[in-house]
Every structure is written in structure tokens, then in C-alpha cells.
């Protein structure tokens, strides 16, 4: 955990994450979710995912959100159940969700169902363009429950996703 409301790592109970709105009254909260292996960004495969770290992307999203009058709470996990719990914890508390589900994109129906039960906008983000890669990456079980998807634009996708959320909430 790097600061209250910004959680990196597996064993994160969203209920124990300090509200990111603390000290930011009135700012709608955006839950930023990162799926498996995204904690390794910047370390390997920079030709596919770029050289920025996950913390860099969270910082860019947080800065873009602040400019738009929003606050960001970040949870990364390598475990589907932790992400599902985070989505449940967002219900009635967060205005929107931005999610890079990692490889869960392609098969995690439990995550799909949890997102379907969330009432606000859901924006799916991918650093790479999964449609231009291996055939198994061309299926997303998240897209059917996402308001929209941003893919293939690298880290800029996180900033665009926050801009989209700000527009959707306006």
C-alpha cells in the first residue's frame, strides 16, 4: 500500500482500504481496478506494455481525476475474488469503475457478474490491443458489461478512461 486508498498487492480487503475521499469531500470516487500481473509492469515485456510501472499509471489517472474533480481508489490483485469483493465494495460508494482486468478479461465470468451488478459507468482499459494479438485474447467477458473499452493506446488509455468517466458522470 503506497498511500491511503491506493492499494498495490494481493491481500487487500477493500473494506480495510481507507476511503480515498478522505480529505476530498464532495469528490465522486472512481474505483480503479488492476488485474493479475499488472504489478509487474515496467519490469518485463516493455515492447508490449511499455516501460511505465503500474504506479505511474495510477499516478496519471489520479492526476487526471483530480483535474476533473474526481478521486481515485486503486486496488490491484492477482486474485479474482479480491477484485470481485472490490466491485461489491464499490456499490453505493463509488461513482464509476475503471478496470484493466489483465488476463481475467478473457475468462473471468465471476468478475463479469460482479460488474453487471454495479450501477455506474464501467470503463475497460487495455494497454495493448488484445484484438491484434493471439486469438484467445480476442474474447472479453468484461466488454459486455462495460460502458466502453479503450485499448491499444498504452498508458494514455488510463487518462482517456478518466476523461470518459468524467464526461459520463457530468
> Should residue 100 be labelled a site residue for ligand CA2 when binding is judged by CB under 6 A?
yes
Tell me if residue 107 is catalytic: no
Q: Judge whether 78 and 104 are in contact, CB under 8 Å.
A: no
89/125 Cα distance (integer angstroms): 20
83/76 Cα distance (integer angstroms): 8
Q: Judge whether 144 and 111 are in contact, CB under 8 Å.
A: no
Cell of 124: 475497460
Burial of 83 (0-12, 13-18, 19+ CB in 10 A): buried
Minimum CB–partner distance for residue 99 and ligand CA2 (Å): 10
Segment 7-66, which members bind ligand CA2 (CB under 6 A)? 37-38, 40-41, 43-45, 49
Residue with Cβ nearer ligand CA2 (69 or 152): 152
Using alpha carbons only, give the angle 50, 31, 67 rounded to the nearest 5 degrees: 75
Which position among 57, 74, 126, 158 bears the catalytic label? 126
> Should residue 127 be labelled a site residue for ligand CA2 when binding is judged by CB under 6 A?
yes
Residue with Cβ nearer ligand CA2 (88 or 137): 137
> Should residue 105 be labelled a site residue for ligand CA2 when binding is judged by CB under 6 A?
yes
Tell me if residue 106 is catalytic: no
Piece in contact with ligand CA2 (CB under 6 A), picked from 19-27, 81-89, 110-118, 122-130: 122-130
Q: Which residues are marked as active site? A: 49, 126
Amino acid at each position: 500500500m503506497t498511500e491511503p486508498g491506493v492499494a498495490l498487492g494481493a491481500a487487500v480487503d477493500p473494506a480495510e482500504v481507507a476511503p480515498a475521499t478522505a480529505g476530498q469531500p464532495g469528490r465522486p470516487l472512481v474505483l480503479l481496478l488492476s488485474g493479475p500481473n499488472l504489478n509487474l509492469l515496467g519490469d518485463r515485456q516493455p515492447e508490449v506494455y511499455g516501460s511505465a510501472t503500474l504506479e505511474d499509471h495510477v499516478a496519471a489517472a489520479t492526476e487526471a481525476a483530480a483535474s476533473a474533480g474526481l478521486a481515485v481508489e486503486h486496488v490491484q490483485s492477482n486474485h479474482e475474488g479480491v477484485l470481485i469483493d472490490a466491485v461489491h465494495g464499490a456499490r453505493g460508494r463509488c461513482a464509476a469503475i475503471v478496470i484493466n482486468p489483465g488476463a481475467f478479461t478473457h475468462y473471468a465470468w465471476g468478475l463479469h457478474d460482479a460488474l453487471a451488478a454495479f450501477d455506474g459507468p464501467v470503463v475497460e482499459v487495455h494497454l495493448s490491443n488484445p484484438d491484434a494479438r493471439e486469438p484467445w485474447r480476442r474474447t472479453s467477458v468484461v466488454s459486455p458489461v462495460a460502458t466502453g473499452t479503450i485499448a491499444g493506446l498504452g498508458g494514455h488509455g488510463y487518462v482517456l478512461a478518466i476523461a470518459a468517466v468524467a464526461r459520463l458522470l457530468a
